[in-house]
Chains A and B, each alone.
Chain A
Amino acid sequence: MAPLLQVDNIEVYYGVIKALKGISFEVNKGEIVALIGANGAGKTTILHTVTGLLKPKTGKILFKGNDITKVPAHKIVTMGMAHVPEGRRIFSQLSVLDNIKLGAFTRKDKEEIEETLNYVYERFPRLKERKNQIAGTLSGGEQQMLAMGRALMSKPEFVLMDEPSMGLSPLLVSEIFEIIKAINENGTTVLLVEQNAKKALSIADRAYVLETGNIVLSGDAKDLMNDESVKKAYLSE
């Protein structure tokens, strides 16, 4: 079966700086795939290119077999892909509920949206308690949950998450990873970018290791966890 997402040899530039030097990878339906690598390796650039916020100079991106390389960013979500961006990027001046509703911006059916809202509230009871609060006043962990809940409101088949554990306490990190696992078990495919390689590999099926714009290693998450070079570079405490 063809992969859900297929990225084929993309090169991405910021001005004259080449940030991605020919990246290829794929994500199959139902998987959690982790993308790990040091700060500045190009992880965020990859996610931005997949969801159309950046355009590759060369290469192709296929989603469900369709070429989406030139599709504008605002049309991506309607194809079944949601992006939880680095740094949460919630709308800080709007209420929690308004943020969540914006996640369903492209959906029409009010009843179905209500159903998804209940699903999101079940997954993140804290968001329900705070639905009328201004989003900018939430704690870091709550903002992360809001960013995830907002993404789920589009009922995506595929979610891209960029460093969801960034800046959170160890307890919250574990909670967030539990939720990612649960979202995946509920049928959503996940592409997970993390600097917390150990945690990411512990829930992922497969992983790619990124170094300065190149994929240098890939394989089953379990194998990578035992790989000496990965251990040394990313798993040392």
Chain B
Amino acid sequence: MEFLSTIISGISLGSIYALIALGYTMVYGIAKMLNFAHGDVIMVGAFMMFTALTKTSLPPIACIIVGTIICTVLGMLIEKIAYKPLRSATSLSVLITAIGVSYFLQNSAQLIFGAGTKQFTPLFGNGSVSLFDGQVVISHNTIVTIIISVVLMIVLTLFINKTKTGRAMLAVSEDKGAAQLMGINVNKTISITFAIGSALAAIAGALLCSSYPILSPTTGAMPGIKAFTAAVFGGIGSIPGAMIGGILLGVIENLSKVYISTQLSDAIVFGILIIILLVKPTGILGKKISEKV
């Protein structure tokens, strides 16, 4: 029964990775860049929610919404100020800029909130559900995390496949020139993609801090790297790939923690990534990546 609870909490952790990974993969698919500042957007979102929770009397759900809106705007601003001027620059310049934005966000948070850690409160209470006469105990946090993540993934999938804007995103990710000939505004589409990715990151930040309630300016770094790993694992650029990659990564991480070693779990996760990439360089659902010139 330990196995079952390990899997369930792994799915919960993994669905948080998946939400973050979606931002990486969508931005990569459309702007052909790795936005290494994406993880720090999680941290900014969490700090905004933390501030709203502690400084106002707003209910938790309103605090999440506030944090999400701020991150959505932040994502669009980052794209407009830092990345848009580099649209025709080499990918190395863009990568270095992204790392710069990442440090900028971390240092700004340190300046405003201090370098110390803050104690985040669980957003969905401390309750839990017992199954099989108490052999399996699942916290409300875990359940809510899984439900919110699954709902968001379904909504995103429907949005991409059923709406005009969603199909424009697919068109831009395949061929910017042809998309423009259809009348699609590529800059606007890229901006929308950053907005969606950042909103998902902010919600992921809320779920993450609710389960692992320690907040500091570097809170976003590790989940950011893991989510990036998940995106590559699933096939960078692929939306279902990011979902599957994220959840698998969370489950593998939890299984390694429980059955092998807590210290080694990260090494195992990244080791598996290396093996997968050696066997299938494009990831689980990835298509052949054709570099655009």
Residues on A lying within 8 angstroms of B by beta carbon are 51-53, 72-78, 82-83, 85, 89-94, 98, 101-103, 105-106, 150, 154
Docked-complex contact B170 and A105, CB < 8 angstroms: no
Chain B residues near A83: list those with CB within 8 A: 181
5 contacts between A and B (CB under 8 A): A73-B177, A74-B183, A77-B181, A90-B178, A94-B171
Chain A residues near B177: list those with CB within 8 A: 53, 73, 85, 89
Q: Which residue of B lies closest to A153 (CB)?
A: B182
| Chain A nearest Cβ from B89, distance in angstroms | 15
Within 8 Å by CB of B178, from A52, A76, A89, lies: A89
Docked-complex contact B167 and A101, CB < 8 angstroms: yes
Within 8 Å by CB of A91, from B175, B180, B185, lies: B175
Within 8 Å by CB of B181, from A82, A92, A98, A101, lies: A82
Chain A residues near B186: list those with CB within 8 A: 74
Asked whether any CB of chain A lies closer than 8 Å to the CB of B292, the reply is no
Known contacts A74-B186, A105-B168; is-contact A51 B174 (Cβ 8 Å): no
Docked-complex contact B182 and A102, CB < 8 angstroms: yes
Proximity bits, B68-112, A CB within 8 Å = 1, else 0? 000000000000000000000000000000000000000000000
Proximity bits, B151-195, A CB within 8 Å = 1, else 0? 000000000000010011011001101111111111000000000
| Chain B nearest Cβ from A99, distance in angstroms | 9
Chain A residues near B185: list those with CB within 8 A: 72, 74
Chain A residues near B178: list those with CB within 8 A: 85, 89-91
Docked-complex contact B171 and A91, CB < 8 angstroms: yes
Known contacts A74-B186, A105-B164; is-contact A51 B171 (Cβ 8 Å): no
Known contacts A74-B186, A105-B164; is-contact A53 B181 (Cβ 8 Å): yes
Docked-complex contact B175 and A105, CB < 8 angstroms: no
Chain B residues near A72: list those with CB within 8 A: 180, 185
Within 8 Å by CB of A74, from B164, B170, B174, B180, lies: B180
Q: Which residue of B lies closest to A101 (CB)?
A: B167
Bound CA–CA A98/B167 (angstroms): 8
| Chain A nearest Cβ from B125, distance in angstroms | 43
Docked-complex contact A91 and B170, CB < 8 angstroms: yes
Bound CA–CA A222/B114 (angstroms): 80
Within 8 Å by CB of B174, from A92, A105, A106, lies: A92
Bound CA–CA A113/B14 (angstroms): 43
In order of increasing CB-CB distance, the 7 nearest A-B pairs are: A106-B183, A73-B180, A89-B178, A77-B183, A74-B180, A105-B182, A105-B183
Docked-complex contact B181 and A94, CB < 8 angstroms: no
Docked-complex contact A94 and B182, CB < 8 angstroms: no
| Chain B nearest Cβ from A55, distance in angstroms | 13
Q: Which residue of B lies closest to A92 (CB)?
A: B174
Docked-complex contact B170 and A94, CB < 8 angstroms: yes
Q: Which residue of B lies closest to A83 (CB)?
A: B181
Bound CA–CA A128/B204 (angstroms): 43
Docked-complex contact B181 and A93, CB < 8 angstroms: no
Bound CA–CA A120/B181 (angstroms): 18
Chain A residues near B181: list those with CB within 8 A: 51, 53, 73, 76-77, 82-83, 85
| Chain A nearest Cβ from B34, distance in angstroms | 21
| Chain A nearest Cβ from B182, distance in angstroms | 5
Bound CA–CA A92/B178 (angstroms): 12
Docked-complex contact B175 and A89, CB < 8 angstroms: yes
Bound CA–CA A53/B193 (angstroms): 22
Chain A residues near B167: list those with CB within 8 A: 94, 98, 101-102
CB interface residues, B 132-166, toward A, < 8 Å: 164
With A53-B177, A74-B186, A85-B178 given, name 14 new contacts (CB 8 A).
Answer: A51-B181, A53-B181, A73-B177, A74-B182, A74-B183, A78-B183, A82-B181, A85-B181, A89-B175, A91-B170, A93-B170, A101-B167, A102-B182, A105-B164
Bound CA–CA A4/B171 (angstroms): 30
Chain A residues near B171: list those with CB within 8 A: 91, 94, 102
Bound CA–CA A91/B175 (angstroms): 7
| Chain B nearest Cβ from A97, distance in angstroms | 11
| Chain B nearest Cβ from A132, distance in angstroms | 13
| Chain B nearest Cβ from A192, distance in angstroms | 17
Chain A residues near B175: list those with CB within 8 A: 89, 91
Chain B residues near A98: list those with CB within 8 A: 167
Docked-complex contact B183 and A75, CB < 8 angstroms: yes
Chain B residues near A52: list those with CB within 8 A: 180
Interface centre among B164, B174, B182 (most CB of A within 10 A): B182
Interface centre among A51, A53, A73, A77 (most CB of B within 10 A): A73
Known contacts A94-B167, A105-B164, A105-B168; is-contact A77 B174 (Cβ 8 Å): no
